[in-house]
Amino acid sequence: MVTLEPEKKLYMKKLTKKLTACAGLSLYAEQPGGTVGITGHLCGDKLCFVCNSQRSRVTRRKYRSWFEANPVLFEVTGSNGRSKVVTAFQYHKNYEGAHYQPVKYEVMHFTLTVPHTAENGYRGKQIYFDEFTRCMTELRRLKFWTDNVLGGEYGYETERKYAGVHIHVHGLMFVVAGLQNRNRLHRELLMNWNRLTVDSDNCRSVFSETDIAGIRKGNKLITEDDVNEMNPKGATIINLETIYTKNKETGLKERVKDFSDKGFMRGVMEAIKYHFEPSFFDKKENQFDLQMVADLKPLLHGKALYKKFGCLVGETALNINENIQVEYSDAVEDFDPGTGEILERDFYTVNPALMYADKDNITWSRAAVASRRQIKARTTSEAVSVLAGMIREACRGGLFRTETQKLDHA
């Protein structure tokens, strides 16, 4: 049995309440042709599997349409007279009609870590989130970065490993298209990141043969001089990859440049899947490291763990952590497509666990029929706002409290 300090216990109680309430109440419509699911209450927590799968689905859709709308970026002259690369959305919003130069770009996936040890953490901190953030800010100001990287997004991941708390960054960057750009950029990123992340308290004072092999692996542009220039007290492991697919016959990685290629979205989602997979979950053991959740989540609360940069700043179409609580699919029509008449139907709320659903049909179980509640509404959006009100009421009134009470008595 784990005993938690009061502050952590309060956090865990709140979390349990949220997770228990998640997907507990959903809205369905019975209409000619069958039953359709409209939406459900989602808790929005990053540790919730239901919400993560929804977030991942929505994000895939967002990114696909974003890449369709942005085959190139726009280089324009900003109000300060300097050139600036913007997205199609920003061009039409702020520079419509202005002269622009189309900019071809490629998408890469990157991972960054800082050197840390179980005893000392990083720069004297066990939870070095703020220190990491400062390195990221400095990195994004460097000339090699602003010259090559047009924009992107990244998220912080936290795990507990043999060397203490392991914080790292995964993200996507949009870089100016060009020959050999991966190796060139990888080398510059490695050299600069190594310099920026030096921790004078780190105990490594020379590189071992293994370190050197690791540094030179995967990039033929890194020379012996480069290795000599690097600081053993800074980070030496980074990852930078183009978006690729695996050739089914040869098993080899193939670079995907065409945004409309089927493999491209697969690669992008693979690169950002970390945003939807809680690192507190141990896939091998199939369980959460609850002690770690209790230890770390309160400390990370309110921190910006996800960031867009460069041309993606303000690109609201790509927000992945916005409120997903009561959002319904716009595929649900209020009108009969044949006659244009408003559809005759009945709206119900029910616990979705009681429904039968397969690929084509949603059907009512006896328990679902017995416990469903009919909602008086004419349109989908009316029904959704009634549902939203019910959820607010339920959260206040404690309909979802049972699990939390159990925890109270534990």
| Minimum CB distance to Zn ion, residue 48 (Å) | 3
Kindly list the strands in the beta sheet with 101-103, ordered across the sheet, starting from the edge strand earlier in the chain: 83-86, 73-77, 101-103
Interaction between residue 108 and Zn ion (CB under 5 A): no
Interaction between residue 135 and Zn ion (CB under 5 A): no
The 10 Å CB-count burial string (b at 16+, else e) for 225-245 is ebeeebbbbbbbbbbbbbbbb
| Minimum CB distance to Zn ion, residue 357 (Å) | 18
Contact stretch for Zn ion (CB under 5 A) within 43-51, 90-98, 103-111, 326-334: 43-51
The 10 Å CB-count burial string (b at 16+, else e) for 192-221 is bbbebbbbeebeeeebeeebbeebeeebee
Provide the terminal-to-terminal Cα distance of the chain, rounded to the nearest Å: 9
Q: Which is nearer to Zn ion, 51 or 235 (CB)?
A: 51
| Minimum CB distance to Zn ion, residue 41 (Å) | 9
Q: Which is nearer to Zn ion, 263 or 278 (CB)?
A: 278
Q: Which of 50, 76, 227, 394 binds Zn ion (CB under 5 A)?
A: 50
Q: Which is nearer to Zn ion, 38 or 51 (CB)?
A: 51
Interaction between residue 47 and Zn ion (CB under 5 A): no
Q: Which is nearer to Zn ion, 52 or 158 (CB)?
A: 52
Q: CA 156 to CA 170: how far, in whole Å?
A: 7
Burial class (CB in 10 A: 0-12, 13-18, 19+), 28: buried
Q: Is residue 383 within 8 Å of residue 342, measured between CB atoms?
A: no
Interaction between residue 43 and Zn ion (CB under 5 A): yes
Closest to 54 (Cα-Cα) out of 41, 66, 36: 41
| Minimum CB distance to Zn ion, residue 289 (Å) | 19
Q: Which of 12, 25, 48, 311 binds Zn ion (CB under 5 A)?
A: 48
Q: CA 23 to CA 369: how far, in whole Å?
A: 18
| Minimum CB distance to Zn ion, residue 407 (Å) | 17
Q: Which is nearer to Zn ion, 222 or 305 (CB)?
A: 305
| Minimum CB distance to Zn ion, residue 53 (Å) | 9
Structure tokens at 235: 């980070």
Contact stretch for Zn ion (CB under 5 A) within 36-44, 151-159, 264-272, 371-379: 36-44
Q: Which is nearer to Zn ion, 42 or 165 (CB)?
A: 42
Number of residues that bind Zn ion (CB under 5 A): 6
Interaction between residue 51 and Zn ion (CB under 5 A): yes
Strand 281-282 versus strand 306-310 pairing type: unpaired
| Minimum CB distance to Zn ion, residue 325 (Å) | 9
Binders in 4-33 for Zn ion, by CB under 5 A: 22
Contact stretch for Zn ion (CB under 5 A) within 37-45, 113-121, 179-187, 382-390: 37-45
Q: CA 207 to CA 193: how far, in whole Å?
A: 16
Closest to 190 (Cα-Cα) out of 154, 216, 155: 216
Residues binding Zn ion (CB under 5 A): 22, 42-43, 48, 50-51
